[in-house]
Each structure stands twice: as C-alpha cells, then as structure tokens.
Copies of this chain bind each other. A is one copy, B any other.
Amino acid sequence: MSIYVVGHKIPDSDSICGAIALAYLKNQIGEPAIATRLGEPSPETQFILDKFDFEAPELKLSYAGEQVYIVDHSEVTQAPDDIAEATIVGIVDHHKLGDLTTSTPLECWIRPVGCSNTVIKMMYDFYNVEIPKDIAGIMMCAILSDTVIFKSPTCTTADIRCVEALAEIAGIEDFKAVGMEMFNVKSDVKGAKPRELVMRDFKDFNMNDNLIGIGQLEVVDLSVFDDIKADLEADIAALKEEGNRHTVMLLLTDIMKEGSELLVVSDDADLSKKAYKIASENGRSWLPGVLSRKKQVVPPLQEVFA
C-alpha cells in the first residue's frame, strides 16, 4: 500500500515541493509513496514547477483508511478533513507543534529551521540518497520562498547551507536571482480577485478554541495593493463571518522594506495592540521588521489567547 505524502490546505511552495521531494525519497528507500496536494498551486509554486518541468502532484482531498505522511504542518485545521480516519505514519515540519495526534507510533522530523525542505534534505542525507537535479531545484526554491531569500528571521544557517548545496546539485549559479524572479511572480496581483489573493497563502489556527485565520502576501513593493486594499479588507471581513472566525488577519509583506502592513478584523478590537504592542488605525498597522507569520505573528497571538 502506498503512502500519500501531503502538505497543508491552501498549499504553498514548501508543501507542494516538499511532497514531491519526500515521495521521491520514500520510493528510493523502498517505501512506495505518492505525492498529493489539498488545493491549487499558487502562481509562485506553478512558476517553480514549470521551471523544473514538474507536473503538480495529484489533487486528493480524502485520506480515510490510507497511510499519510504529513508535510509542513502538524495542525488539525490545516490537515485533510478526514485525517482522523487515516494513519499518520510521519510528519516533516518546521512549525510549532500543533494538535494532530496519532494512535500508533510514527516518525516526526521537525526542526526549528526556515523550511520543511531543509529538513527533507537532512532526510536525504540520513538515508544517503542522491537528490536528482530537478528535485534539488524545487527544494531550493521552496527554501528561498519560505526564508524570503534568507531575509526572514526564521532563516537559519542550516537553510543557507542547504540552499547552497541544492543550487550546486541543480547547477544554478545565481540562486538569489532565481529567488527574486520567483518573488516578482508572487508580486503580480493584477487581475486577481480579492478572495483569490487573501486565500493564496492562508492558514487557520485553533487558539484555545478560537478560530484565527491568517493570510500573507509577500511582494517586492506594497504599492501593488494601493488600489485594492479596501477590497481586501472587505473580503477578510466576509471570510471572518463565513467561517465563524474570531479573527482574520492579512499580512501585506514588503520583502524589500522588510516589514508588513497588518490588516485585521477581529471580535477583539484591541487584539493587534495586545499582541504586537502597536496600535492599529481602522484595522491597519505597520509592523516594522515583521516578515514571518510563524515566528513573529503567531506566537504573540498564542500568548494573548493562552
């Protein structure tokens, strides 16, 4: 029976590239595995897949009765809807430990690094399996994406060494240029509907039984949002109501200025002030230096809800 290797809902490049890379590794060590996905690839991810000539993994939403290897999360809200009816055989991740539990022993490769693909590279090294050139390419891009080309505070020495090694395998000399090319694709929001943009990289968290949704858009220049910011705000307000969420946040991250504009709709008008010590005006605030949802946005929120 094959293992399905799947990342989180609303997959990002780490989830999609990680599923492909890990499924390949598993097959090499004699454990049949199939990469799958829980949603459509983002434009950034599609750029990576096209660049290294990959098809997107199979779209598969139901896993009842199957063996599943989870990539890039350990949260029930981000996992397949019927994950409780599946057997989780492993988790590779780089986030806080979430609320997924299992009834049988499993393997967890979780490290406080910038990207799941950095951990997957450690798995290749552990099993002594050679990484094919094209898989090295997508792994490298996933790490450059998650670490914002090493600018994110989540980026570690391990991530940088890993990108350097993968770039060499992939035969890429200027990996930073590839990273910028990727972020330029990501910055193209023209013609996209507000909902499509809000959901491009959106994660739900269960914080002490409050559902908190947090989206993030990383661009090279925030001015691309000037004409659509009000529409984005209307959409996160709608999303809050539709999902009975306590709060929806949208981070508009400027990777060159290295900070984020935070848009918030919440049952608690003072939430962003409580969490980030910066008052918001009309649900907007500028958070200097904030690039990482996982390291800079989620933990202070968890403290507020603890």
Instruction: Evaluate contact between A112 and B107: CB separation under 8 angstroms.
Output: yes
Instruction: Evaluate contact between B97 and A299: CB separation under 8 angstroms.
Output: no
CA distance A179 to B149 in the complex (A): 52
CA distance A89 to B97 in the complex (A): 10
Instruction: Evaluate contact between B98 and A101: CB separation under 8 angstroms.
Output: yes
CB-contacts of A292-306 with B (<8 A): 294-295, 298-299, 302-303, 306
Shortest A210–chain B CB gap in Å is: 14
Interface size class of A (residues with CB under 8 A): 20 to 34
A88 at the interface (CB under 8 A from B): yes
A195 at the interface (CB under 8 A from B): no
CB-contacts of A70-121 with B (<8 A): 74, 84, 88-89, 91, 94-112
Shortest A247–chain B CB gap in Å is: 16
CA distance A46 to B179 in the complex (A): 56
Which listed residue, B84, B102, B111, B306, touches A97 by the CB 8 Å rule?
Answer: B102
Shortest A69–chain B CB gap in Å is: 12
CA distance A108 to B100 in the complex (A): 14
Instruction: Evaluate contact between B110 and A108: CB separation under 8 angstroms.
Output: yes
Q: CB-nearest residue of chain B relative to A94?
A: B105
CA distance A100 to B74 in the complex (A): 11
Shortest A177–chain B CB gap in Å is: 29
Instruction: Evaluate contact between A95 and B99: CB separation under 8 angstroms.
Output: no
Shortest A189–chain B CB gap in Å is: 29
Q: CB-nearest residue of chain B relative to A105?
A: B112
3 A-B pairs closest in CB distance: A103-B302, A108-B110, A105-B112
Which residues of chain A have a CB within 8 Å of any CB of chain B? 74, 84, 88-89, 91, 94-112, 126, 154, 294-295, 298-299, 302-303, 306
Can you report 25 residue pairs joining A to B where beta carbons are below 8 Å apart?
Answer: A74-B97, A91-B97, A91-B108, A95-B105, A96-B102, A96-B106, A97-B106, A98-B101, A99-B99, A99-B101, A103-B298, A103-B299, A103-B303, A103-B306, A104-B295, A104-B299, A105-B110, A105-B111, A105-B112, A105-B154, A105-B294, A107-B110, A108-B108, A108-B109, A108-B110
